[in-house]
Structure 1
């Protein structure tokens, strides 16, 4: 019988942020006579060679311990099949991957990367002088966030000349990551981002999360909270997402990802842009898309 590990982390980590997807996937696999179980990725007692497949589902603490997660990938890869593929996952862990996709012809939000406070300060000064998103709203606003992170940890939306922007960049650098600086995309602040979900390269559903970042720093409402709503996706948007996945495969020399969340937004300034290609452990929002768990489970079985 096929045996599959659904890779998660310590239950305590989900106390304030439950994983709604994995129980649905688990039930669907079990109902199809697949022996599946949730397994904590950093549990030293696990015999990974006992599994036919280790499926990354919600190891959501990996941004807090990226070096350890990378070592785990190196350890597990020779013992069992890991999906998505470890090479792709390592590449996807650091948002410098956006530069690779831009070089492959995908439109992304203009981004600069900074390893020193001085470099970040220069970029913020340029943004303030250029007034990219200023207009009637005043000076330009920018988003500052880490290259390794998730769920908007250490991310903020500031006026480019706000000292808080520089302070956040310095905190990110001190935390061991590079700081990304991007111009504010007004359509994002209006909540028009779409998270498009793909299983084996096929569209399943899409979610709008709503705006998250408050101007001046922090989250709207004071805490991270997605207001997930199912949304329609146009054929043009689906075609753009497929182009992103083709670029992902080309850059990595890998097969189609088993699963992907591709965050996009249609902008007045840049056209359709890629915000993020999440290939590691995306929340799939399956509770908003009844039946997709069975589509995903069948794709898992086919790969296993």
Structure 2
């Protein structure tokens, strides 16, 4: 095998237990005569003689709890080895404030109030009366510190203040009924090519916490209408215009088509999304070929 790729994970990586992508991706790369292995990001110190021709960020899912450490590691890694998706794109994508950039470029985004102080929090919650709202930090993974609560509840104010105490911007969004019905779709694009769509079901329990008591996705293959695929491509085009970066190696575009707002963007996940390759095995080969082209 002439090339070696490091697949960047974290120390909670377990094949088939949460990370369902790394093992099938390594197998698909092996079929192309490309060696690959998991690299635990915070246990590996980048160096020029690392032996890798490319690092592919896959599941560094603890980045939000070690953000400064991860940013510093990513910069060092990029000095030693090419990294995909590119660190400049990752830096932009780390904080969901990027949604503001995309909105300015014409991408429809779920309505969001951006809160940076207790006074702004009180005003934002008050504007929703007693309606259900979602509160979440602008930097987070795995729906950490995220809740679906009545806007006028003590729990909503407490969660908002907790997020502010962590030094994060609070995102306040109205409940989208279709999200609560589990109609969110994740659209996957590898090197610009649409491969599959996943529905992971509703996650948040009204009143706070997760349905079933813990974060538990139930990814299932679903179809994506041509209009939804076109929306995903539109988002990727806006990402390129906003960042000046080339087309991402991989991207997951999370959308919901709602009766009130039409099709809107929830997130553009460009560096650590679950790809659900175990649900779409053929997509692993598409991603592997895209990596081979980068080599």
- Normalising by structure 1, we get a TM-score of 0.93
Partner of 2:139: 148
- Aligned 8 A contact 2:114 2:171 in 1: yes
- Normalising by structure 2, we get a TM-score of 0.96
Distance 1:48 1:286, change over 3 A: farther
Say whether residues 1:82 and 2:73 are aligned partners. no
Partner of 2:285: 294
Say whether residues 1:214 and 2:214 are aligned partners. no
Say whether residues 1:200 and 2:201 are aligned partners. no
How far 1:15 sits from its partner (Å)? 9.6
Report the secondary structure of 1:78's partner residue: helix
How far 1:92 sits from its partner (Å)? 0.4
Partner of 1:132: none
- Aligned 8 A contact 1:157 1:215 in 2: yes
Partner of 2:40: 40
Say whether residues 1:73 and 2:74 are aligned partners. yes
Partner of 1:247: 238
Q: State the alpha-carbon separation in 1 of the partners of residues 17 and 117 from structure 2.
A: 32
Q: State the alpha-carbon separation in 1 of the partners of residues 84 and 108 from structure 2.
A: 26
Q: State the alpha-carbon separation in 1 of the partners of residues 53 and 15 from structure 2.
A: 29
Partner of 2:178: 187
Q: State the alpha-carbon separation in 1 of the partners of residues 144 and 162 from structure 2.
A: 12
Distance 1:178 1:16, change over 3 A: farther
Alignment of 1:1-304 (within 5 A): 1-10=2-11, 12=12, 14=14, 17-47=17-47, 49=49, 50-128=51-129, 139-304=130-295
How far 1:184 sits from its partner (Å)? 0.8
Q: State the alpha-carbon separation in 1 of the partners of residues 142 and 17 from structure 2.
A: 11
- Size of the alignment, in residue pairs? 293
Report the secondary structure of 1:225's partner residue: coil
- Aligned 8 A contact 2:46 2:76 in 1: no
How far 1:31 sits from its partner (Å)? 2.5
Q: State the alpha-carbon separation in 2 of the partners of residues 44 and 37 from structure 1.
A: 13
- Aligned 8 A contact 1:13 1:61 in 2: no
- Aligned 8 A contact 2:138 2:170 in 1: yes
Q: State the alpha-carbon separation in 2 of the partners of residues 146 and 16 from structure 1.
A: 28
Post-superposition, which runs of at least 4 consecutive aligned residues in structure 1 deviate over 6 A? none
1:36-69 Cα distance to aligned partner (Å, 9 max, x none) = 1111111244535532111000111101111111
Moved more, 28-37 or 182-191: 28-37
Q: State the alpha-carbon separation in 2 of the partners of residues 93 and 160 from structure 1.
A: 27
1:248-296 Cα distance to aligned partner (Å, 9 max, x none) = 0000001100101100111111111001000011100011112211111
In the alignment, structure 2 segments of 5+ residues that lack a partner are none
Q: What's the RMSD between the two structures over aligned residues?
A: 1.5
In the alignment, structure 1 segments of 5+ residues that lack a partner are 129-138
